[in-house]
Chains A and B, each alone.
Chain A
Amino acid sequence: MIPVSYYFALSAILFSLGALGVLIRRNAIIIFMSVELMLNAANLLFVAFARANEALSGQVFVFFVIAVAAAEVAVGLALIVVIFRNRQSIDIDEMSNLKG
Chain B
Amino acid sequence: MNGELILFFVLAIVAISAALGMLFSRNAVYSALFLILNFATVAVFFLLLGAPFIAMAQVTVYAGAIMVLFLFVIMLLGAEQIQHQARRGWQRPLAMLLTLVLLAESAYLIFTRSDVLTVLQPAAADYGSPQSIGMLLFSEYLLPFEVTSILLLAAMVGAIVLVKEDKKSGGQK
Complex Cα spacing A12 to B45, Å = 15
A43 and B23 contacting across the interface, CB-CB below 8 Å: no
In Å, the complex CA distance between A34 and B66 comes to: 13
B77 touching A56 by the CB < 8 A rule? no
**Known contacts A66-B62, A67-B148, A71-B151; A5 and B114 CB within 8 A of each other:** yes
* B89 → chain A closest CB, angstroms: 12
Q: How many chain B residues have a CB neighbour from A under 8 Å?
A: 88
Contacts between the two chains (Cβ within 8 Å), count:
234
Interface centre among A32, A70, A93 (most CB of B within 10 A): A70
Contact string against B for A residues 58-100, beta-carbon threshold 8 Å, 1 for contact and 0 otherwise: 0110111011111111110111111011000111010000000
Q: Which residues of the other chain, B, contact A47 by a CB distance below 8 angstroms?
A: 45-46, 49, 51, 54
Q: How many residues of A contact B (CB 8 A)?
A: 69
Residues of A within 8 A of B87 (CB): 93
Return chain B residues, CB-CB under 8 Å to A74. Answer: 155-156, 158-159
A interface residues, Cβ below 8 angstroms from B: 1-10, 12-14, 16-21, 23-27, 29-30, 32-34, 36-37, 40, 43-44, 47-48, 50-52, 54, 56-57, 59-60, 62-64, 66-75, 77-82, 84-85, 89-91, 93
